[in-house]
Amino acid sequence: MSNIKNLPSNLPFEWLVGLRYTRAGKRSGRNSFISFISAISMAGIALGVAALIIVLSVYNGFQKEVTERMLSVLGHIEMYDVRGGGMADWQSVAREALKNKEVKAAAPFVETQAMLVHGSDKLRPAIVRGILPEQEARVSSVVGQVKQGSFDALRPGAFGIVLGAELAKALEVEVGGKVAMALAQSGANPMSAAPSMRIFTVVGTFEAGHNEFDSGLAYVNLEDGQQILQLAGPFGLRLRVADTQRAPRIAAELKFAMGEGMLVRDWSKLNANWFAAVHTQKNMMFIILTLIIAVAAFNLVATLVMTVTDKQADIAILRTLGASPRSVMHIFMVQGALVGVLGTLMGVAGGVLLAANVDVIVPFIERALGMKFLSKDIYFISAVPSDLRLGDVAVIGATAIGLAFVATLYPSWRAAKVKPAEALRYE
């Protein structure tokens, strides 16, 4: 049996022997080959863990970036008066909502779908939102994302309009130009309904960095919006809260406080399909990349089976000296688990280091290769973002160690079943 030395003497002997086996002797080519396979397993686990941490961090970064751009236009919470006719006394509703300490601001709005027309052949569908610019600046950052013109030019009765930059480009209209807004008119006979038309002057363009909004959203003054929709007041209120992650709970509190006449939805409900798709994609990505770790972890099975075969004489001597099958099983579990733990720790260290420096590493690679991964002409996000989350790192590390531990069970059980007499027969 291998000589056990240079190890702490206060450890249980199962740990001493298991650690010694992990340090692989060099007495024969077979031992060296087992050590090589063990190192490959360790490296595979480290690579899989690092890859999973980096990919999920970049994915989280994209999700965070897109969410922030969406929330720069959308409200954290929206409240609607479901009784119809508009929220005529929106000021009192806003004061009631602001009684919640986590609600920081409120702004009224109206919203409708319309067709915008410029010239004889340029027309695009758009969502038209009526706002009060001074109030809107408190609940979203779109007022500060102006590319040309100004939201302050949205004065009541002037019928000005601010277009998304891509929408203005598609309509081939600039600041100072005119666009016609066509709205469907409902009547007793829907088949004979004719659209109503209103001419608006383009007073500005904005760029939120999200194609859905830049190519399909327009803003008008709240009073102008109420006039064309024939409403006595705004549809409802958009609220800004201190912590966007607590918005669902705050929405539930407001719903309870406001009563049945008010519909309250937080930002995750307003974009439920998008967030559900993102959550599903992230879970699938985690499962697929975990298979890399699983393949490396189960290489331990072959390594440990070879070790058990090579160490049958040692196992037999341990058994004759009084070691129980459970103790023998623990020896090889220690060996396999140690490979898994070391591989996981190396992978976590490498993955965290790379994920935390994506903003430095990716530009370096782009300069070295003379290429751009995210072109500004195609993508609105021109830099690869990263959002390293300790929760993800903990789950990935625990998963890798768990898979490595499972991989040790069969070889360890097989070692425990070795019969001393048969193992020593030809020694």
Q: Can you give the pLDDT of all 427 residues of the chain as single tens digits?
A: 444 445 455 666 666 766 666 665 444 455 566 677 778 888 888 998 999 999 999 888 888 887 887 877 888 898 887 776 678 788 888 998 999 899 999 999 998 999 999 987 888 999 999 999 999 888 888 888 888 998 989 999 999 999 999 999 999 999 999 999 988 765 444 444 556 788 999 999 998 877 788 888 999 999 999 888 888 888 889 999 988 888 889 988 888 888 777 888 888 887 777 778 878 888 888 888 888 888 877 777 877 887 777 777 777 777 777 777 788 788 878 878 888 888 999 999 999 999 989 888 888 888 888 877 776 655 656 678 888 999 899 999 999 999 888 888 888 888 777 776 665 665 5
Number of compact structural domains in the chain? 2
Q: Which of 251, 270, 289 is the last residue of a domain?
A: 270
SS3 content of the chain, % helix, strand, coil (to 5): 55, 15, 25
Q: Say if 390 falls within a structural domain.
A: yes
Structural domain includes residue 38? yes
Instruction: Among 270, 292, 324, give the residue marking a domain's end.
Output: 270
Q: Is residue 239 part of a domain?
A: yes
Is the residue at 8 inside a domain? no
Is residue 4 assigned to a domain?
A: no
Domain carrying residue 287: 13-67+275-424
CA distance 240 to 256: 18
- Of 270, 289, 313, the position where a domain reaches its end is 270
- Residue pair 103/97 in contact (Cβ under 8 Å)? The answer is yes
Residues 18 and 108 in one domain: no
Q: Are residue 201 and residue 334 in the same domain, yes or no?
A: no
List the Cα angle 367/368/373 in 5-degree steps: 55
| Per-residue pLDDT, 189 | 46
In the chain, what is the straight-line distance between the N-terminal and C-terminal CA atoms, in Å? 12
Write down the pLDDT at residue 426. 57
pLDDT, residue 261, reads 74
Residues 81 and 56 in one domain: no
Burial classification of residue 267, based on how many CB atoms lie within 10 Å of its CB (0-12 exposed, 13-18 middle, 19 or more buried) = buried
pLDDT at 82: 75
Please tell me whether residues 288 and 374 are part of one structural domain.
Answer: yes
Residues 366 and 282 in one domain: yes
pLDDT for 106 equals 92
Strand-pairing partners, residue 342, are none
* pLDDT at 235 (0 to 100): 85
Which residue stretches of 153-271 are H helix?
Answer: 165-171, 211-214, 222-229, 247-258, 267-270
Strand segments (E) across 317-374: none
State whether 236 and 289 are in the same domain.
no
Same domain as 365, residue 332: yes
Q: Is the residue at 119 inside a domain?
A: yes
Output the six-digit token pair for 108: 């009224």
Residues 122 and 86 in one domain: yes
The answer on 261 and 119 residing in a single domain is yes
**211 shares a domain with 177:** yes
Q: Do 92 and 215 belong to one domain? A: yes
Overall pTM > 0.85: no
